[in-house]
Amino acid sequence: MHTTRRQLLSFAGAALAALAAGPAGLLPVRVARGANETQLAIALFTKGALPLEGGVLIEAPEIADNGGAVPVRVSADGARRIALFADGNPSPGVAVFSFGKWVKPAASTRIRLAGSQKLIAVAEMADGTFRATSRSIKVTAGGC
């Protein structure tokens, strides 16, 4: 029996899919783990310190028509760094912005959101403390 190139390629594709889907799959597959993974990511950013509530501003639409490009602006007076987290995305860490002492601590970007979820901004202040705030965003069409 003669095996065609097309049959060989389809067999190889099926084998890769089986490896990825298996319990000990060899290909990395990310699955959203929810609030626990978000809290772990925040704890890594803050090195275990608990952030105080307030002092950070998140500007984003309350309802986003397209989750593929949601405009977000974060700012915090006196911040050295600001991290942005999305607790409903497969990977909660969205961005970390670093600021020099002569730069206004504010940044704007567009992010992808998998669906309606909470954005969390955590700022590392110049005195070494951490401040945090959150904002819920409703997404009508998911972007991830």
CATH number, residue 76? 2.60.40.2470
pLDDT of residue 136: 95
- Give residue 4's identity as a one-letter amino acid code: T
Q: How many residues does the chain have?
A: 144
Please report whether residue 107 resides in a domain. yes
Q: Are residues 36 and 24 in the same domain?
A: no
Q: What is the pLDDT of residue 29?
A: 38
pLDDT bin (cut points 50, 70, 90) of residue 126 is very high
Q: How many domains does the chain have?
A: 2
Confidence of residue 28 (pLDDT cuts 50, 70, 90): very low
Residues 45 and 64 in one domain: yes
Q: What average pLDDT does range 33-41 have in this prediction?
A: 79
- The pTM assigned to this predicted structure is 0.72
Query: How far is residue 61 from each of residues 38, 48, 67, 75, 91, measured CA to CA in Å?
Result: 21, 30, 11, 16, 21
Q: What is the pLDDT of residue 36?
A: 85
**68 and 16 part of one domain:** no
- Domain-embedded: residue 144: no
- Is residue 85 within 8 A of residue 34, CB to CB? The reply is no
Tell me: do 113 and 57 sit in the same domain. yes
Range of 25's domain?
A: 1-30
H-helix or E-strand spanning residue 79: strand 79-86
pLDDT at 2 over 50: yes
- Please state, in angstroms and as integers, the Cα–Cα distance from residue 35 to each residue in 85, 89, 109, following that order: 11, 10, 23
In a domain, 3, yes or no: yes
